[in-house]
Amino acid sequence: MTSTPDRDAQEGDGQRPRFKRVLLKMSGEALLGSRQYGHDREVLQQLAEDIRAALAVGVELCLVIGGGNIVRGSTLAAAGVERATADYMGMLGTVINALAVQSVIEQLGIPTRVMSAIPMSAVCEPYIRRRALRHLEKGRVVIFAAGTGNPFFTTDTAAALRAAEMGCDALLKATQVDGVYSADPKRYPDAERHNRLSYLDVLARDLRVMDASAISLARESNIPIVVFSVHARGALARVLRGEGPHTVICEEAKP
């Protein structure tokens, strides 16, 4: 397990990262950009550059990416596809996204591994915990695909699970807005952004930052969740230094 110099997510000193090993969770929809389907080249390039900046400050990084830009299991289920089958289709969408992100990251000379919870050795490695840990220790970016490998579990839960298995110091949740607000800031301009929340606050208020299973697993593993905007260039490196707007979800919501 990696060292945990800052498990309660105190602010960094502006230079050194406040976490040594992190998992970045982002939705498949974040890869759309201005497109209706698939991947936006500029978004992929920005993500790769942000990852390079994060690695430059000495962070070990792994990712979980959803598949909503390709296919959503819940949407297919609503259309009549049997739920378990629909979820497996959604898992395959996450593999497509993982391979796309891997390709763009590697164009910057960054060693990357895609590990799938559903074995498909022709295109990526099967998920093996000890092997994944070794990749991280060697400075490789690891992209976890196919969720948990089981239907009825979201990629949010997969992200919390992998973060716990990898001994991550934080789970970074990249969203459409720069933190957790008291109300939808797109509908209510006067909504206030929370700087800190407890896990129980999120669950009790049903804030839907991540699904309840993911929040509960993060709480059990004492892994802080840092919510920030996926759209701001360089935001990943800034939030790792404790800079820029974001919300920290941890055991106690300190002022």
Cα separation of 96 and 48, whole Å? Answer: 16
What's the number of domains the chain is made of? 1
Average pLDDT in the 228-255 region? 87
Q: What's the pLDDT tens digit per position in 122-174?
A: 999 999 999 999 999 999 999 999 999 999 999 999 999 999 999 999 999 99
13-17, 174-178, 194-198, 203-207: segment of lowest average pLDDT: 13-17
Contact 194, 46 (CB under 8 A): no
User: From the CB of residue 151, how many other CB atoms can be counted at a distance below 10 Å?
Assistant: 18
3 domain residue, yes or no: no
Domain assignment of residue 35, given as a range? 21-250
* Residue 36 covered by a domain: yes
Asked whether residue 185 is domain-assigned, the answer is: yes
- pLDDT at residue 189 above 70? yes
User: Could you tell me if residue 9 is inside a domain?
Assistant: no
Which CATH number goes with the domain that contains 37?
A: 3.40.1160.10
Does 13 have pLDDT greater than 70?
no
Instruction: Assess if residue 255 is contained within a domain.
Output: no
Tens of pLDDT, residue by residue over 82-91, are 999 999 999 9
Write out pLDDT tens, residues 72-128. Answer: 888 898 899 999 999 999 999 999 999 999 999 999 999 999 999 999 999 999 999
4 is a domain residue: no
DSSP helix/strand/coil, 215: helix
253 — pLDDT class (breaks 50, 70, 90):
low
